[in-house]
Structure 1
Amino acid sequence: MTATAPGSVNWNTEALNEIVSADTDRPVLFTNARVLTADPLIGTMTGADVLLVGSVIVGVGPGIVTAAQDDNAIVVDCTGMSIVPAVVDTVALVGGRGHRAQYVATLTPGNTADLLVVPDGLAEDIPGAVATLFTRPAEVRALVAAGAPVLWAGTDVPGRDTAPATGVPATRDMTGDPRVGVWIDREDFLHQELTADGHYDETRGGRPHAYRGRYWIDGDRIDYLDDLGFWAFGEFVGDELHHAGYVMKLG
């Protein structure tokens, strides 16, 4: 199967086909690019490489390509291209974060592999490169999310993730889910009942029905839509439910 649509730019088609193969977990190396990392320590580099292993960036800089054969990496030649973060930390770009460790979505080793590849002429800076996605999407050479190609050579990648449907989803039947039950915080102030019909009911400080509404669980995340109209969220961490500063366990 070819991953390039008719009429699209012929750019590293063979590499894309290798990346999207269901039976490969090889490293992917974007090489010989101008890399605008948005990392204050690393900065911008020319003739540089970005090495991805799974969903993580593991190396940035010149010379990584020398190990590509040893590592059986899939090589993507980015001559004439610039690589920028696909998710822009606008607060960091304007100097609003005091510590490098607070920066998010930079092309820093250890960070999630979200990156954008565009021709050098469309990447005067990071915001300009990202704007290409909306103003000239056909010029995008690659858009990668958590190591997986989303766009390639100006077209959608076959089998790519698609955005969830807009609008409030139907309430799910949670019968049999081990997270259904009454969650109680450490001070016994908050009791949050998750029912099998996809609804929740909170008792706070002995006050029943303080908040009520619907909930949806996606992985370790739980989203709430209160009957008052506001949205909130929580996270399951081991056997705990973290929500709005409360740490709860099943009662």
Structure 2
Amino acid sequence: MKKTIEETKEYLGIWISADGQNRHELLPNMRYRGAGGALKDGYQGSYNVVGDHIDYEDDSGFSAEGDFRDGILFHGGTALFKKFSGVNNREWELSMRNRFRTILNQIYE
């Protein structure tokens, strides 16, 4: 049986949209930092992962949610991909765009 992302802890780390405009850093202490556009640290708060679902609550009280599916974090209409250390940013961005196109083609075929 396939383990959930909660069990594997593979959610930890930095998740970035294919265009690089949105970023979520999920920290081991159940805190996160997020940014959109030019903001490096636009918001921060706590999160909780249950199964393959994530709930966020930022420090101002705003809440949001998302789901992990096939190694992608879907949150607020955005697909975020995990960033791995030691990977060239441009190569990573191109790889994620191609991966996203492939997934969309599978969905809409």
| Residue in structure 1 matched with residue 90 of structure 2 by the alignment | none
Cα offset, 1:206, TM superposition: 2.6
Letter in 2 for 1:229: G
Match of 1:85?
none
**3-state secondary structure, aligned to 1:250:** strand
Number of aligned positions between the proteins: 77
Give the CA deviation at 1:192.
Answer: 0.5
Q: Which amino acid aligns with 1:207?
A: L
Q: Which structure 1 segments of 5+ residues have no match?
A: 1-173
After TM superposition, the structure 1 = structure 2 runs for residues 56-205 of structure 1, keeping only pairs within 5 Å, are 177-205=9-37
Larger proportion of helix? 2
Structure with the larger RCO, 1 or 2 (CA within 8 Å, 6+ apart): 2
Distance across 2 between alignment mates of 1:199 and 1:178: 15
CA shift, 1:204, in A, is: 1.3
After superposing on structure 2, the runs of 4+ consecutive aligned residues of structure 1 that deviate more than 3 Å are none
2:41 is paired with a residue of what secondary structure?
A: strand
Instruction: Give the counterpart of 1:208 among 40, 61, 72.
Output: 40
Give the whole-Å Cα distance in 2 for the aligned partners of 1:195 and 1:245: 22
What's the Cα RMSD here? Answer: 1.4
Letter in 2 for 1:236: F
TM-score (norm 2): 0.67
Q: Which SS does the other structure have where 1:209 is aligned? A: coil
| Amino acid in structure 2 at the alignment position of 1:248 | L
Identity over aligned residues, as a percent? Answer: 32
SS of the counterpart of 1:188? coil
Gaps of 5+ in 2: 1-5, 84-109
